[in-house]
Chain A
Amino acid sequence: MKGKRSMALPYVVWSIAFVVIPLLLVVYFAFTDKNGAFTFDNLSKIVHYLPIFAKSINLALIATIISFLIGYPLAYCIARSRTHVQRNLILLVMLPMWMNFLLRTYGWMTLLENEGIINKLLGMIGLGPFEMINTQGAVVLGMVYNYLPFMVLPLYSILVKIDRSVIEAAQDLGANRFQVLCKVLFPLSMPGIVSGVTMVFVPSVSTFIISRMLGGGGNMLIGDLIETQFLGGSYNPYLGSALSLVLMVVMLLIMTVMNAFDEDDMEGMLV
């Protein structure tokens, strides 16, 4: 059935009112000063905050790579299990996602503290104590932990569709394990990799909760900075909007690059 175009009208109106106009407001505020006059000041101030952008992107990138390194084998293991085991394992991966991420991050605080459980356990075998919480490492750990399922699920759904015979064929043709991985598995699972990487990277870059709870306040990331401009300690929605605008543009650029990866390889796909 072809629906009537007009049926989409309420949705289009809704989207313009609550998606497009708000984003235009961000742009408007980014070019406005306290008195409502047009200005470039907010955007030119961004240069000053470049290190924060750099740090956020670095940490998010590290978190994404670690998630990929942990998530790919995990998704592969699950995809190669027996069918009913697969279902249960995937549910086990998804289950933590249904518990609020604030609570789970709070759980990590208990584990990582100087007097926390990990240090106590290590102390029993004579190690430590290690300074784990309030470091950049803890922030990365929080990102990996919270967004790992977002990496595993798309990878799993792609990997489970790859026919075992394709891999066997490659092996029969003399490919070693590494070659199978690089020439068969990776290209075939590219769409999954792209969506997994995006789904980990985007929320990691913009988080303000993880850096605040596990980073001890001294590891401010771009999300924190934006939040403080709106509801936090230093109220300045104009600068906040400018920061958001730049973040949005950076993300869109990254998306475009990622999509280039994807489409390019889609064409080369066997299926």
Chain B
Amino acid sequence: MRSIGKKLYLACCFLFLYAPIAVLIVFSFNESKNRATFTGFTLKWYASLFQNELIMRSLFNTLIVAAAASIIATVLGTIAALGISGMRKRMRSAVMNITYLPVINPEIITGISMMLLFVFIKEIFHLELGFVTVLIAHITFCLPYVILNVLPKLRQMDVSLYEAALDLGCTPVSAFIKVVLPQIMPGIASGFLMSFTFSLDDFIITYFTSGSSFQTLPVTIYSMTRMKVNPQINALSTLMFVAVLVLLLLMNVRKKPKGVHA
């Protein structure tokens, strides 16, 4: 009895989580533009989606920024975490407070504060708002996640291993690469993953820092939702959902023994 109740509850929760997604997917195949009545099956919105230069360009921009920002943030953040772990307590807590700022600050405030900065320094550095500013903004909000993922791994690490490597004649650099890096790799990897997904998905901060010349996919989606119904949005959602699903399945299948996956 209890188990049925539990299953029912889970089902309700997942119905809630997936209802709007299901609606978007179903209506991506809708013949008519009307977003409430289903008139017939079509794939034309998918075809027109790929011809929509704006969407394709924004998708490209989004991926470039996400890749660049997460890679730079991972490198910079990992080095910073190494430095922070060597700090004395008072200094460390000061740096950590700054690190937490972008995490706990509402995104809109991070967004407007950076916009103010970029407009302020525009004249000095001849830096138009665009790719560079979006990249800087994304690196900034990704950095804390890398640091917060790497630091605990550094704390768990056995220091004597590194020292042993040095004693055995390793240079500090090769000792770092051969001994330290493998141990903190899981932290770096999850930091990178988080950065990549956050950067891919970010709307608010990009909205304030992108200026006129550089639009990412979320910004484009926002302007599309404010206009006439464009079922290309639904097609786009469906493709994004399928892409994520496939990615997750791939990751999952590899973990499982053969024959389990469907």
Interface residues, chain A, with chain B CB atoms under 8 Å away: 1-12, 14-16, 18-23, 25-26, 29, 70, 73-74, 77-78, 87, 89, 91-93, 95-111, 113, 115-117, 120, 145, 148-149, 198, 202-203, 205-206, 208-209, 213, 223, 226-227, 230-231, 237, 240-241, 244, 247-248, 251-252, 255
> Smallest CB–CB gap between B9 and chain A, Å?
6
- 23 contacting pairs across A/B (C-beta < 8 A): A3-B81, A3-B86, A8-B82, A15-B98, A19-B98, A70-B16, A77-B6, A95-B245, A96-B18, A100-B201, A100-B217, A105-B20, A107-B19, A107-B21, A111-B23, A117-B36, A145-B17, A203-B106, A230-B112, A231-B207, A244-B112, A248-B105, A251-B105
| A204, closest chain B residue (CB) | B106
Residue in B10, B17, B107 whose Cβ sees the most chain A Cβ within 10 Å: B17
199-227 of chain B: CB within 8 A of chain A? 201, 203-204, 207-208, 217-218, 221-222, 225
B203 with A102: CB separation less than 8 A: yes
- Complex Cα gap A117–B114 (Å): 40
- Complex Cα gap A113–B107 (Å): 29
Residue in B81, B163, B225, B240 whose Cβ sees the most chain A Cβ within 10 Å: B225
- Complex Cα gap A14–B91 (Å): 16
Q: Does B29 interact with chain A (Cβ within 8 Å)?
A: no
Interface residues, chain B, with chain A CB atoms under 8 Å away: 6, 9-10, 13-14, 16-21, 23-24, 27, 35-36, 76-77, 79-87, 91, 95, 98-99, 101-102, 104-110, 112-117, 120, 136-137, 139-140, 143, 147, 154, 157, 159, 162-163, 176, 179-180, 197, 201, 203-204, 207-208, 217-218, 221-222, 225, 233, 236-237, 240-241, 244-245, 248, 252
A103 with B233: CB separation less than 8 A: yes
- B112 partner residues in chain A, CB cutoff 8 A: 26, 226, 230, 237, 240-241, 244
- Complex Cα gap A51–B95 (Å): 36
A14 with B140: CB separation less than 8 A: yes
Residue in B13, B20, B24, B248 whose Cβ sees the most chain A Cβ within 10 Å: B20
> Smallest CB–CB gap between A139 and chain B, Å?
15
Residue in B91, B108, B207, B240 whose Cβ sees the most chain A Cβ within 10 Å: B108
- A1 partner residues in chain B, CB cutoff 8 A: 82, 154, 157, 159, 162-163, 176, 179-180
A70 with B13: CB separation less than 8 A: yes
The tally of CB-CB contacts under 8 A between chains A and B is: 231
| B260, closest chain A residue (CB) | A84
B104 with A7: CB separation less than 8 A: no
B17 with A244: CB separation less than 8 A: no
B23 with A99: CB separation less than 8 A: no
B80 with A7: CB separation less than 8 A: yes
- B136 partner residues in chain A, CB cutoff 8 A: 18
B36 with A25: CB separation less than 8 A: no
B82 with A26: CB separation less than 8 A: no
- B87 partner residues in chain A, CB cutoff 8 A: 5, 8
Residue in B10, B99, B136, B203 whose Cβ sees the most chain A Cβ within 10 Å: B10
- B157 partner residues in chain A, CB cutoff 8 A: 1
Q: When A7-B82, A107-B24 are in contact, do A99 and B116 touch as well, CB less than 8 Å?
A: no
> Smallest CB–CB gap between A226 and chain B, Å?
6
